[in-house]
Structure 1
């Protein structure tokens, strides 16, 4: 299972995540990224965020995962993923959680039903 690279691997970002138990997996014919709950150190303040997931993604693709939190409230947020590095700076309240490459498509849809001849 692919591992998640923390945001401090992305040049120019100034916050650090305390948890890296995030993952990417196949979900049928699309990929899914799961983000674990974590805390982020912004200067002298620590903000805690709930976990979440992003579904419907392409396989074998590098994504930058981010959230928008204009008031640094933490808690439940909506996580987003983009393949464009420039999207990370599209908002002053945007925080990059990290990068991850989704797995390759296995060619097997776990939701497909087997067809048998009788």
Structure 2
């Protein structure tokens, strides 16, 4: 299995438990590792891999249209979307919520999921 990765992708969504967090969308930073079949490396065809530009566009649109209480739920949503909509074999999703706590650079979650 080969891997495509995206690092530092910014996306906006409404997220948080507290009322003040839910007043405006927040910018999150996502890192993704996406497992793909090795076939694309052999035949040089975009149809045999995951198009990372489409992944970014789809995720940004989906997150703008959704709201979440927990980073865990958002990460699960992202993982499910990548596995189901893009046919990935495996995905690792890291979501960072920067600057939300005083004297803490970033908080976040990381999950891994496999296609069933």
Tell me the TM-score normalised to structure 2 length.
0.35
Whose Rg is larger? 1
Tell me the TM-score normalised to structure 1 length.
0.35
Whose helix proportion is higher, 1 or 2? Answer: 2
